[in-house]
Amino acid sequence: MRESKLRNKTIRLVLQIYALVMAASLILIFMFVVRPLMEDALERYTEQNSYILDEVDSSLNSVAEYTNFIAYSEDFLDKLDAYTGNPQDAVVRHDLETKLYNAKTIKREIQSVAVDVEGYDIVSSILRLKTEEEELMESQWYEKIRNTSYTGGFSKGITIQEDGHETRLIAYTKSYHFKNRKFTLTVFFRYNDLLGSIIRYYKSNFEKQYWITADGKALFESEQDEIDELCALFDGEEGWPRRNSDGVLWQDGLLNASYSSVSYIPSAYLLDRIRENIVIMVSMAVVLLIGTLFIVIYVVNRITGPLHSMTEAMKGVVSDNFETKLPVESDDEIGYLSETFNSMGEKLQEYFKQLVKKMENEQEMKFGLLISQIDPHFVCNTLNTIKYLAMQKRTDDVQKVASALSNILRDRLRVKDFQIYDTVQQEVDTIEQYLAIQEYRYGGEVRLECEIAEEVKECRIPKNMMQPLVENALFHGLADEDDGSVRGTIRIQVKRQGDALSIVVADNGAGISPEQVQSLLHPQPDVSEHRKGHGIGIANIMERLEILYGDMAEFHIHSELDKGTEMEILIWSKSE
């Protein structure tokens, strides 16, 4: 059954309305739901950022407090006094170094500890300071703190090589003036050991995170290019956090250090935070949409269904299906139309039955006339042959020829009983009778080859469909125009070819030119199909095929000059 165009049109209109409503809903959802959710997610990220900074502050503050603990330790001060009293004494210096070493080992994240007393050599925790550490203690930053009492600060990050591995260090330095003693204490701690777990947690929540010093430079020089590239994404933005289509950028300073954190998340992180809420809302919207859509389709079908049934019924009437009836299920206008249609269908059915019967009678009469046509020249020539044989007193041959002619004429007369079909075997037998007559006229120069598949011998085909093709092969293909002799081979082949029955009549005679093939397949209205040599003709065969089978039969001619001709009939429908 064809789909209802009215129903489809109505559904398309409903879908368009749904699309507009959905678009408006999405806009409203974004404005009043998604945007507030994203702002809430941003606030949670901001709070998380502050929490992590507090943890970093706490860790750095522990370093400053431990530095004070070392500096105010009585044992340390005693050893420092002994060193300043006798700096040349190796044992005294070693005691101070050991004290610093012990202070270093108490906290595993400390790399080294160094004390600098004005006017004396710098003393470190037994092991010699790395070159990078010494360079830091010679920097302007260090000198500034060293020259200011009771001031401390964290240095810029440095990187040293240890056993083929890079180690990141940060130094905390503070100057003390205590009991007439002025000294500077520096603690180098490993960045990853002190802040590693916090930084890893930081980066598990933020895509990128860096530290910068008070002058806006990267804490570690290797990260400077990455920081510049990240900040370039937010050029022109003001305030913190900075936000654009790429994501969100935070910059927050620490309380206990001159460092600032630069952290970044892409916009997708905010969406991830609210993805579950969005999925729930979208799922509810989709379920609501599908549910209401089914309801709308049901209502549309209830309204347009009867109209569609009526349209299909009318199409059935147009296609000659007059038995179509419409159910009368209502007492409204559609019910009235259904009753009227049923009444009209009954009247049309009766009228067309009468018309079809009349046309069938006319077609049967016409078909009978087409089959019963026989070339009078053939009858005349056959009678002359019988006369000639009688004069020669060839009684047996006269009997054979007369019997063959009688069988052919009797076969034609059967059409009066509307026996318009015959078996393949009966048609072949008739052709053999026909060729038996022609053999007496032209001698035994014509050879007949029959290839009839066993399974098609009892198939029924239109009467006298093969004999005209044999006649054309005899007089057009094998006849010599100069001396009138006929010689050669005629091959008849009948078999199944896929779903079709294939009937082939071929000869090895003169052949036909392409122009002649076209004129035979498409004869002009003003050209007689009964001109000499055609018999009842190819046009007669094609007309009968059209009457009986329509598009379910085909007629083909394959020929080459001097190589013979092959005529083929393909029939797809079963004979009656």
**How much of the chain exceeds pLDDT 90, in percent?**
39
Average pLDDT of the chain?
83
List where CATH 3.30.565.10 sits in the chain: 373-571
Q: Tell me, what's the pLDDT at 17?
A: 86
Dihedral (C-alpha) 153, 156, 161, 162: value to the nearest 10 degrees?
Answer: 30
Residues 6+ apart with CB under 8 A from 432: 448
pLDDT in tens, 57-83: 999 999 999 999 999 999 999 999 999
CB neighbourhood size of 162 (10 A): 10
491 has pLDDT over 50: yes
DSSP state of 241: S
Burial zone of 464 (CB within 10 Å; 0-12 exposed, 13-18 middle, 19+ buried) = buried
Q: Tell me, what's the pLDDT at 366?
A: 57
Look up residue 73 and give its amino acid.
S
Question: For residue 168, how far is the Cα from the chain centroid?
Answer: 53
Give me 430's structure tokens: 């008739």
Q: Tell me, what's the pLDDT at 556?
A: 93
Between 418 and 36, the more confident residue is 36
- Using 50, 70 and 90 to split pLDDT, how confident is the model at 86? very high
pLDDT in tens, 180-203: 788 999 999 999 999 999 999 998
Q: Tell me, what's the pLDDT at 530?
A: 44
**How much of the chain exceeds pLDDT 70, in percent?**
83
Write b or e for each residue in 522-555: b if 16 or more Cβ atoms lie within 10 A of its Cβ, otherwise e. Answer: ebeeeeeeeeeebbbbbbbbbebbeebbeeebeb
Burial zone of 42 (CB within 10 Å; 0-12 exposed, 13-18 middle, 19+ buried) = middle
Q: Provide Rg for the chain, Cα atoms.
A: 56
Question: Looking at domain 1-319, what is its CATH homologous superfamily?
Answer: PAS domain (3.30.450.20)
149 has pLDDT over 60: yes
24 has pLDDT over 80: yes
Residue 220, CA distances (Å) to 132, 160, 258 in order: 13, 12, 14
Mean pLDDT of the region 301-328:
68
* Segment among 80-94, 204-218, 481-495, 533-547 with least mean pLDDT: 533-547
Q: Which of 500, 497, 516 is nearest to 565 (CA)?
A: 516
H or E element that contains 340: helix 333-372
- Using 50, 70 and 90 to split pLDDT, how confident is the model at 534? very low
The class of domain 373-571 in CATH terms is alpha beta
Mean pLDDT of the region 103-118:
92
- Using 50, 70 and 90 to split pLDDT, how confident is the model at 574? low
Residues 6+ apart with CB under 8 A from 281: 29, 33
Q: Tell me, what's the pLDDT at 251?
A: 94
pLDDT in tens, 211-232: 999 889 999 999 999 999 999 9
Give me 364's structure tokens: 């049967």
Q: Tell me, what's the pLDDT at 533?
A: 43
Mean pLDDT of the region 367-383:
61
Residues 6+ apart with CB under 8 A from 547: 363, 366, 367
